[in-house]
Structures are given as structure tokens and as C-alpha cells.
Structure 1
Amino acid sequence: MPEGKMMIRRKWLLHKSFNPRVLLVSALTITLSLTQVTLAAYQPPRDQKSPSGYTDSSGTRGRCKASQATSLRLLAPVTHVGQTTSSHPTFAWLLPSQEKIPLEFTLYKIDNNDQLNLAYKLEVQSSPGIMKLSLPQTLPGLTADQRYLWQVEVLCNRNRPSHNLVARAELDIVAMPPNLKNLLARSQNRLQRASLYAEAGMWYDALAEALDCSKGELGKVATSLLQDLANLEKPSKDGISLGIP
């Protein structure tokens, strides 16, 4: 798979002791400004759906050595299924480690029998802070009205996969709402486009616009989106919280 086509830049669910707001702020200061901006808050889809059992866990799966990565956070909803109108969506995560560690990104299609079918896989090297990856345009696009599961695995020990850190999230590919399409057609400003996507419940599209540039206003937009998600992803009754930093 040609890496030149990939856009890589700068869990399961989190552990019971996790404080989402504190970790959110500390993690994002690595690359993003915390200055407030005017942005429509992220609104989950009106037909909000719960994720499948594939992403239902009571803690972090796997554990690397102390000198390696100790946490992995997907920048995506985990208490509900995020949506995108893109057939080649962008995925983002945070690995707060200064070491170069091999990662494996995997995308699965969930069929009508709730079975996982491999759609795409790529091994990359980690970089500290936020990383992002877009499905290559050279590949067939993802199918509309279809659910997918994406996974990032930190390859701590190739001989003992059970020790690897793994984080998963699901996304639904949906048709572009006509009203949103009309609004986007009249806006070339990325800040406005991120805001329109966020208000329409299209998490992956909104974050992709915001992360297209990690400085200035767009950095602030990404921060605002992640703060919205942290506020929405409330701890469950057993204290487990969201899967973002």
C-alpha cells in the first residue's frame, strides 16, 4: 500500500480513574491552542446509535513497557457511533510517547451478521501528539449506509499480541443531507465548514476540516470540538469514561 498517499501527521475505553477534562486539556496543549473560538457545538446524530460489542470493554486492552507508550486515545466518539459523509474519511488519535513505536491501523466492514471483514490495513511509525490518517483515494470508497470499525494497535510485542495496546471505535457512512450540502457549497472557509459539519452531527468530517491545519484558528476549532466530545462522553455507571484524550 503506497505510503505516499497516506496523510499521517501529528480503549478500548479508558480506565476507571480517568478524568476526561483534565487529560483533554493536558493532551491537546501538545499541538493545539486552547483559546476559545466561535464554533457551533458538536451535536451527536439525531438517530444516535450505540456501538456494538466489539468496542464494549471495561478497561484498556494490553500494556506496553513503562518506557514505551502507556496510553492510546482515539479522537472519536465511543459512547455513540460517529458519522461521516466521506467515502475516504480521516481518522485521528493521540499517542503521548516520545519513542518511535510501530502502530497498525486496521479498518473493518461490519456485515449484516455482525462479522468483521478486513477493508484496509497499514503499519506506520508513531509520532508524539496527534496523528491522522486518511483512507487513500486510490482505494475504493467506503459504502454508504454501512458501519465500519477502525482500530489502532500499538505493536509493543509482536511475539505476544495480547500485550499490545488496542483502541477501537465505530463509524457510520451516511448520505450527505441536502441542506448541509447546500450550506457547504456556499462556504470555502474551513472554520465555517467544520462548524457546519459539527452542527449536523458529522464528527469525522468536522474533525478532518479542523485538523487540516494545526495552527491558528483551526487549531482552536479542533480543541473546541474535542472539548464538546469530552462533555458529551459522560462516565457510565461503573465509572468508565470516553476514548479520547
Structure 2
Amino acid sequence: MMTRQKWLLHKIFNPKILTICALTITLSLTQATLAAYKPPSDQKPPSGYTDSSGIRGRCKTIGTGSLTLLAPVTHVGQTTSVHPTFAWFVAHHQRMPMEFSLYEFDNNDQPHKLIYKSQLQSSPGIMKLSLPQEQPGLSVGQKYLWQVEILCNRNRPSRNLLARTEIEVVAIPASLKDALNHEQDRTQRATLYAEAGMWYDALSEALNPSNTGELGKAAANLIQDLANLEQSPNSGDLSQIALGEN
């Protein structure tokens, strides 16, 4: 039996199927202001490389709802970090090989240049990856495509489960930089980033203190904000979030 301190988030915002199971949310007892994500005022639609579902391929053993990117899919999410953090959710408990890839878009809006690739093993719950500091930083003003692929069948890549979306690196606004310089609390920093439309920075701050596979209150609030946004008539296909009840 679940309490209101531990919820089960069954469905999130992969814009067509949006099914996530067994994501534990640990709610804090503090009354701090929670982050509220507001998309960039100049939000851009994704290219054709991010389709309406955000998911391609099918793993027979785990199903399409097994992988969800914790990032905007119906618009291009922004970051001020040149070494951003990427996050996704794995619903299945079967450990499988996984590959993270990051591509740079060229002047023709084609993601041809591979920037970074990492081989991983899937793990149930939230997984995150930060671009290593020893890697060259991303370029401000540049758009990138990132994807996570579960390698269901190395001999038949079309069967692999692939989720992809886009990220844009932007210069940090002076007002936001000044506010961050006067704020050390991670929840409040996440709120500042979220209200400025910087999804990746906000989620990174919110996830930082969390245990692997768990979601704190600020991060859960952010993800619900994005889920609500992505299911609105103006933002693409409907999505549903089901929270466990007592």
C-alpha cells in the first residue's frame, strides 16, 4: 500500500504511448517553492529527426513503453551548459545493452556529425549521463540531437528501441546568471532555471541530490509540468500521468 510520501508514477509524457511503471517518487516534507517549467518564449519545433512519438523500433521482450526520455519532445529543450546532463527512464528490469549518442546539426539542419557516444547497460528507473568534462564543450547557439538506443538485436538494428530528441545550447541571460549567483539551494536553483525555460539545467539541479532510480519532489514536479505541456492540444499528442493513491 502506497502513502503520499511514496508515489508510483505509471505514465509520463512520451507523446503517444507515455507508459512508465515503477518509478518511485520520494516526496520531501519541506514546503520550499517547487520548480515550474515554462518553455522558452522562442521555443522551436523539432526537426523531422524527432518524430511525433519520440520512439522508433520495437523490442519484443520489453515493449515500446520501456524507454522514455525525460526531456521535451514537442519542442527543442534548452540548456546553458556546454556539458549538459541527459536523463531518461527505463521501465523494464531486464538488463540490456544500451547506447547513448549525441549529434551536431549542420547548416542544412542535418544531424551528421557524431559528437559523443557511450556504451551502457540499462538499469530500471532513472538513468542520466553528463557530457564528460574532458570532452570538448558544446557550442552556444548550436542545436544537437541526442538519442538512447536499447540494443535488442545487434543483427537487426531496426528492432532496436530508439528514443531521440533535440537540445539547443543558449547563452545564459544576465538576470538568470545574477539570480543563480545569489542562490545555493538546489530546489530554488532548479526553479530559477525552469522559469527561464532551461529544461536540462533545471532537471539536472533537481536530480542531483536524488538516489539512483529515485525522483525527488522538485524533479517530479518538473516532469509533471512537462507532461501536462506535452499533452496540451497546442503541443502535440495527448499524454496521461497516473499517480498512485493511498
TM-score strictly above 0.5: yes
- The equivalent residue for 2:43 is 48
- The equivalent residue for 1:194 is 190
* 1:70 CA drift (Å): 5.0
Structure 1's 230 and 37: CA in aligned 2 closer, same or farther, altered over 3 A? Answer: farther
Q: Secondary structure at the match of 1:53?
A: coil
TM-score (norm 2): 0.82
- The equivalent residue for 2:172 is 176
Structure 2 matches for 1:55-66, cutoff 5 A?
A: 55-57=50-52, 60-66=55-61
1:151 touches 1:168 (CA, 8 Å); kept in 2? Answer: yes
Gap runs ≥5 in structure 2? 1-12
2:190 touches 2:202 (CA, 8 Å); kept in 1? Answer: yes
Instruction: Using the aligned pairs only, state the percent identity.
Output: 62
Q: Secondary structure at the match of 2:145?
A: strand
How far apart, CA to CA, are the structure 1 residues paired with 2:75 and 2:160?
A: 25
- The equivalent residue for 1:229 is 226
- The equivalent residue for 1:103 is 98
- The equivalent residue for 1:86 is 81
Task: Identify the match of residue 133 of structure 1 among 129, 136, 139.
Answer: 129
Q: Secondary structure at the match of 1:56?
A: coil
Number of aligned residue pairs: 225
- The equivalent residue for 1:154 is 150
* Deviation per residue, 1:186-213 (Å, 9 max, x gap): 0111111001000100000000000101
How far apart, CA to CA, are the structure 1 residues paired with 2:218 and 2:231?
A: 21
How far apart, CA to CA, are the structure 2 residues paired with 1:244 and 1:136?
A: 33
* Deviation per residue, 1:124-157 (Å, 9 max, x gap): 0111100000000000100000000000000000
* 1:61 CA drift (Å): 1.4
Structure 1's 79 and 34: CA in aligned 2 closer, same or farther, altered over 3 A? Answer: farther
1:90 touches 1:134 (CA, 8 Å); kept in 2? Answer: yes
TM-score (norm 1): 0.83
How far apart, CA to CA, are the structure 2 residues paired with 1:198 and 1:85?
A: 12
Q: Secondary structure at the match of 2:132?
A: coil
2:83 touches 2:137 (CA, 8 Å); kept in 1? Answer: yes
How far apart, CA to CA, are the structure 1 residues paired with 2:110 and 2:59?
A: 28
- The equivalent residue for 2:70 is 75
Q: Secondary structure at the match of 1:54?
A: coil
Deviates more, 1:65-74 or 1:90-99: 65-74
Deviates more, 1:164-173 or 1:206-215: 206-215
- The equivalent residue for 1:165 is 161
Higher share of residues assigned strand: 2
Q: Secondary structure at the match of 2:56?
A: coil
How far apart, CA to CA, are the structure 1 residues paired with 2:241 and 2:124?
A: 15
Q: Secondary structure at the match of 1:39?
A: coil
Structure 1's 68 and 125: CA in aligned 2 closer, same or farther, altered over 3 A? Answer: farther
RMSD between superposed Cα atoms in Å = 2.7
Structure 1's 157 and 235: CA in aligned 2 closer, same or farther, altered over 3 A? Answer: farther
1:193 touches 1:209 (CA, 8 Å); kept in 2? Answer: yes
1:149 counterpart letter in structure 2:
L
* 1:14 CA drift (Å): 4.1
- The equivalent residue for 1:33 is 27
* 1:58 CA drift (Å): 5.1
Task: Identify the match of residue 118 of structure 2 among 79, 103, 122.
Answer: 122
* 1:28 CA drift (Å): 3.4
